[in-house]
Homo-oligomer: A and B are copies of this chain.
Amino acid sequence: MPTTPPNDDAVAPAAPPVEARCNACPLRRHALFEEPTSEEIELVQSLKKREHRLQAGETLIHEGQTDAPLYTLLEGWAFRYKTLSDGRRQILSFLLAGDFIGVQQKMGDAAAHGVDALTDAAFCVFQRDSLWELHRRSPTMGFNITWLTAHEESMVDDTLLSVGRRSAEERIASMLILLFKRAASLQADAGREGVPFPLTQQHIADGLGLSLVHTNKTMRKLERRGLHRIEGGRLYLRDVRTLARLADLWGDGRPPQRPLV
């Protein structure tokens, strides 16, 4: 550990009043049941223990760690992953501002997955048992959390479909669209000028169950076809329609009825 961390000041920034923070919490961007009342905001506020900042590449939760608290991603990107003992890594999901972290592990149990920061990032820290407190004191918030958790699962479901049944080309098309949408929804301009895209090709490969080399070759192909562009850490979708068709992604609506045979 360096005796004089280069930017230790990040650990104790000129902290804005915490209250303002919770009011502007990105968590509220999620399509929640209803707007939280000021009482509820206060409740969350009171459970919040502190903030925690990481630099890109640092790890928030180690795989197998036993005492991980609960977090909320305040800003930046992160990802959850699992590894095999020989080092093979699978990224389970990417986390954007407003996502929950650590509900998966039963209290007092070992974390089933690690969490690393993808960019410099800020997290809100909660005690593990505040999950219970929240449920007890605000059923509404409790309900929102189970819904959020379920939503998280449905994203993993999507990835599993990709990794299990889509070709490399299809997987990448699918991931680009899905990540673009998520990132765009956090922006005012809805991604008209592209969205921030901090993943390296290694992250993409590990998220899609592909090798780095094959990921690169496939992405170049898509790029040459004019479907997308990644430049200066931003992702631009140039032909969403074709990408969506490639990924077999049903826009927003229901799945098209497919012929019975």
**Chain A residues at the B interface, C-beta cutoff of 8 Å:** 31, 63-64, 66, 80, 82, 84-90, 92, 103-106, 110, 112-113, 131-132, 135-136, 139-140, 142-143, 145-147, 149-154, 156-161, 163-166, 206, 208-209, 248, 253-256, 258
Contact = CB atoms under 8 A, between A and B. Distances in A.
A123 to B, nearest CB: 18
B90 A160 contact: yes
Contacts of A85: 248, 255-256, 258
Contacts of A154: 104-105, 112-113
Give the residue among A66, A90, A146, A147 with the most B Cβ atoms within 10 A.
Answer: A146
Contacts of A147: 106
Given A82-B161, A161-B84, A165-B89, A153 B149 contact: yes
Contact of A157 (B31, B104, B150): B104
A143 B143 contact: no
A259 to B, nearest CB: 10
Contacts of A132: 143
A150 B103 contact: yes
Contacts of A206: 164
Contacts of A166: 84, 88
Given A82-B158, A135-B135, A163-B209, 11 more contacts: A88-B166, A104-B151, A104-B153, A105-B150, A112-B154, A113-B157, A135-B146, A136-B143, A142-B143, A153-B156, A165-B209
